[in-house]
Amino acid sequence: MKQSILDLLKEPTLIEQEQKNSDIFHDDIPTSAINTGLSATRHIPVLNNYFFRNKDIYISKHNRYAPYPTHTHTFLEMNYMLSGKADEIINGKKVHLKAGDLVLLDVGSQHSIGYLGDNDILINLLFRDQNISINLLNDLRRSKSILYEFLINRVTNKDGDPQNNYLIFHKQAENSEVRVTLDTIIEEYFSNREFSDSIIKSYLSILLTQLVRNYTIQTKQASSSQQLMIKILRDIIQNYQTITLDKIARKYNYNKNYLSNIFKQEVGKTFSEALTQERMIQAHTLITSTTLPITDIIEKVGISNKNFFYDKYKKQYHIMPSAARKQASK
């Protein structure tokens, strides 16, 4: 990052000077930025779209020298620890951030931020693009494989607890492509140059995709049945065109019905549903990255019923194959 931008971020603002002198939090959020109706219901401040009056993305340095009280918001927020460290309480859970760490908070996340000292520079990126959300990250993960989705569900919350609406990306400062993109976004914003909003919006989509590509899954110790499911999911990925439950049962010497029940219990979907999902993933890749006729792709991924394919594809991607190909070619 340019030294001039770093120097600017380290320079105390007027609010920071007041907080440093008094050791008391000074609220710099105007009343017009608070959704009074929701705040009254939740008993904590709910920040609205005030920050996006003339832009899609709002970036700021978090004020140092006083803890920031619990609040929530109607937009998405990213906290990037540029230097130093910070403690946050997110949905009641303590999160410790070190230099290079980044946390992505979905709409409705409740969080507070502890005291920041001289060298603790925390950058807030707020954005409201409806096409960019936690769901985008989950969709990107699902596009990798059903195995990836299974592992992610074990790490986060298998039952989809709405309180688990944030993601932590550790040590992004050690990842050169992510660091470069973050630095570019921050520099572009604080340089206040022409067309910066459009440029930052494009870089934000790149950043989110890079984060998913470099996201490391720290899985819990798998049980014996989960280890078996991981093997079976890998088999589906490698042999999705021809694999069947009968073949899997014979391979691992299990009763077919028993294995089917264990699969549904551990993976959260039937074997048939998982196989169809993987075939849709493979078909989607071919549809959006090649010019192969869609009828050939249907056969190539192991599906014989065209109506079945179109129904399942629309259900998984919310778009018809021909429209997806046209969209990808733009």
Mean pLDDT, rounded, for 109-123: 94
CA angle (319 as vertex; 317, 321 as ends), nearest 5? 95
Query: 175-217 pLDDT, tens per residue?
Result: 678 889 999 999 999 988 888 888 888 888 788 777 766 665 5
Rounded CA-CA distance 264/267 in Å is 5
Look at residue 156 in the predicted model and tell me its pLDDT.
44
CA distance 36 to 320: 42
Helix (H, G, I), strand (E, B) or coil at 182: helix
Query: What is each CA distance from 80 to 84, 113, 120, 173, 178, in whole angstroms?
Result: 11, 12, 11, 10, 11
Instruction: List, for residues 285-301, the tens digit of each pLDDT value.
Output: 899 889 999 999 999 99
Distance (Å, rounded) from C-alpha 60 to C-alpha 127? 12
Transcribe 275-308 into DSSP letters.
HHHHHHHHHHHHHHH----HHHHHHHTT---HHH
Among 212, 191, 185, residue whose Cα is nearest residue 127: 185
Q: Of 41 and 106, which is predicted with more confidence? A: 106
List 88's β-bridge partners, or say none: 95, 113
Listing DSSP states for 100-163 in one string gives T-EEEE-TT--EEE----TT-EEEEEEE--TTSSHHHHHHHHHTT-HHHHHHHHHHS-TT--TT
Q: How many other β-carbons are positioned within 10 Å of the β-carbon of residue 3?
A: 7
Sole residue written with tokens 């206040």: 192
| Band of pLDDT at residue 40, cut at 50, 70 and 90 | low
3-state secondary structure of 191: helix
Query: What residue ranges define each of the domains in the chain, with the CATH number in brackets?
Result: 3-213 (2.60.120.280), 224-328 (1.10.10.60)
Q: Which of 37, 156, 170 is nearest to 106 (CA)?
A: 156
pLDDT of residue 160: 42
**Tokens in use for 57?**
């993305």
Sign of CA dihedral 158, 161, 165, 168: negative
Label residue 42 by pLDDT band (50, 70, 90): low
Contact partners, residue 116, CB within 8 Å, separation at least 6 = 62, 63, 64, 65, 84, 86, 122
- Per DSSP, the three-state class of 311 is helix
Residue type, position 327, single letter? Q
Q: Strands 46-47 and 68-73: what pairing?
A: parallel
Q: Which two tokens stand for residue 191?
A: 């340089």
Tokens of 134: 């936690």
For the stretch 62-107, pLDDT in tens is 999 999 999 988 888 899 999 999 999 998 899 999 999 998 887 7
pLDDT higher than 70, residue 155: no
What share of the chain in percent tops pLDDT 90? 46
- Phi, then psi, of 161 in degrees rounded to 5: -60, 125
What mean pLDDT value characterizes the chain? 83
* Model pLDDT, residue 33: 80
Q: Which residues of 243-272 are buried (b: 16+ CB within 10 A; e: fewer)?
A: bebeebbeeeebeeeebbebbeebbebebe
